[in-house]
Structure 1
Amino acid sequence: MTQVGARSRHPDPLDIESMRATAGKLSAGDVPFPRFDDLDDWLLLLRGHLTLLVPEVEGMARALPEEHASRVAALTAVANTRVRLAASPGPGLVSATRHARELAEYLDALCDHHTVLTAENATENRT
């Protein structure tokens, strides 16, 4: 098995487009509040995506030189995401929806980092 960044952790490639679509459904400001019953499902889906993506992005970032800007930015995003994942949504629909939207924004940002790091690691491996 070839190893690029943290690829050895997930033998199947991550479905970044599906993750982006999930994030997009909640992160748009004009999207109405989901039903409270559906919110738990959204939170589980977002957390599941982030649980897969965080170690992948972290591994890809650590494969770059320490001073590399993409590495620093991605590791900062990973640390911030971990903080947000550790936080509870709080009581009520408004608080829980805000939390879900924040997780969606973090998911979208990590998808961006994954795309950048994929290109950066390919460039680094060619040199």
Structure 2
Amino acid sequence: MTRTRPAPAATVPVDTDTMRGSIALLLPHETVQPPVGEQLATLTLALRGHMQLIIPEVEQITARLSSNDIPRYCALACVGEARGKLGVRAAADPHGALTYARRLARTLTALCDHYEALTGQGMCVACDRPIRATDDTVPYDRVGNSGGALTSRIHAACAQHPRPAR
């Protein structure tokens, strides 16, 4: 008897814009007044839910890549870290709750970055929003982490209206 695998169900693309909106309520912590009490608890639940949605999507995408593909390896390492963070609970005190929520937010940021990179969505380095195929963009040169020059694309509107310095 031959068994056939069912066709994978069509999934709705992950809404990284919404996820990044939740992240923005906590990061960067130098410029954001964080929520407290019930608002923080609700936001933490939302971050956990976002992670539970995006993890299987990243895993599904990486499953189609070669086992020696470096972006695949990095994304799966991030998934492992995310699963570890989901397995932990925040300390009972307010500082512990905020620290935990920020850890979730940083990990969710990395998951969103991996998802967008693996699905071909570019990110505007000026506004931290995805660049869609229909968006008007311009090249943007910047220095990379290793010192070399990188050329990215940014939204044309971001080039004309840069963010104020932090």
With the shorter chain as reference, the TM-score category is 0.7 to 0.9
**Residue 124 (structure 1) aligns with:** none
In the aligned structure 1, how far is the partner of 2:77 from the partner of 2:60?
13
**Partner residue of 2:103?**
102
Return structure 1 stretches of 4+ with deviation > 2 angstroms.
Answer: 8-11
TM-score (norm 1): 0.83
The answer for the alignment partner of 1:41 in structure 2 is 42
Q: CA deviation at 1:32?
A: 2.4
Uncovered stretches (5+) of structure 2, i.e. residues with no partner: 1-7, 122-166
TM-score by length of 2: 0.64
Q: Mind listing any 5+ residue stretches in structure 1 that lack a counterpart?
A: 1-7, 121-127
The alpha-carbon distance between structure 1 residues 99 and 10, as it changes in their structure 2 partners (threshold 3 A), is: farther
> % of aligned pairs identical?
34
Greater helix proportion? 1
TM-superposed CA distance for 1:62, in Å, is 1.7
* Count of residues in correspondence between the two structures: 113
Q: Tell me: higher relative CO, structure 1 or 2? Use CA pairs within 8 A at least 6 residues apart.
A: 1
Structure 2 letter corresponding to 1:28? P
The aligned counterpart of 1:16 is 16
Asked if the contact 1:27–1:102 (Cα under 8 Å) also holds between the matched residues in 2, the reply is no
Higher strand share goes to which structure?
2
| Superposed displacement of residue 98, structure 1 | 0.4
**1:50-65 equivalences in 2 (<5 Å):** 50-65=51-66
CA RMSD of aligned residues (A): 1.6
Q: Distance in 2 between matches of 1:102 and 1:83?
A: 11
What's 1:125 paired with? none
